[in-house]
Amino acid sequence: MVGTRRDIVFGGLALLGAGAVSKPAFAAAASYFDGTAVDNGVTFKKTNFSKIDKQWRRQVVKYFSSEPIGTVVVDTRNHFLYLIMENKTAIRYGVGVGKEGFKWFGRATIDAKSLWPRWTPPPEMRKRHPELPEFVDGGSPKNPLGPRAMYLHRDGVDTGYRFHGTLEPGSIGKDASSGCIRMFNEDAIDLYQRCPIGTAVQVLPHIADQAEKATQVSQASPVE
């Protein structure tokens, strides 16, 4: 499965071009990880959630929406992804979204999913960054997609955008990507399990009423 078409190199560039990154930067990045876990035979670094602001951690919140249960809604301004559940609730995930000039909005569906996906930088990216490899194998510690990728299509056509994991937990809650929605690796695994092929997705600039009410009335609780 081909990786993101519009993604920048994420943490992959930092790792592939390690000489250009200072030691303090690596030390800061390392603090976002703590220990390892094994998933489908692949060992990966676990997110150190003690270093993550609580608002970005996966949790159940009150959520008011006319969208059907099972729909995924992304609030790009506030950096949250909501999976709508029953009883006016949703699982809320902190996410990283597109940088200025790379944001996108609209409806799509998850029409393909990949476990430990291969990442293939598109030709235009390799022209800008000739140091990049032709591809990075799934499960590689340098793969910017992480353990899962969910591929967003519109009218049967691949948009080039994905939900996926990240090498940079510190980018969650920020405008950091080239349009794809980044998640903590553990959250990408969780969402992958909850979203079957055909899941409806809506990406919005800002969820006014639903998110505002959810923030005001919810007693958020962690989701394991």
129 is catalytic: no
Distance from CA of residue 27 to its chain's centroid? 23
Is 164 part of the annotated catalytic residue set?
Answer: yes
Helix (H) or strand (E) holding 187: helix 185-194
Those residues with Cβ within 8 angstroms of residue 155's Cβ, 6 or more apart along the chain or in another chain: none
> 81-97 burial, b if ≥16 CB within 10 A, otherwise e?
bbbbeeeebbbbbbbbb
Report the distance separating Cα 92 and Cα 117, nearest Å.
24
Rounded to whole angstroms, the Cα distance separating 76 from 80 reads 7
Residue among 163, 145, 143 at smallest CA distance from 153:
163
Among 153, 180, 195, 206, the active-site one is 180
Set 79, 164, 195, 206: catalytic member: 164
Catalytic residue numbers read 164, 180
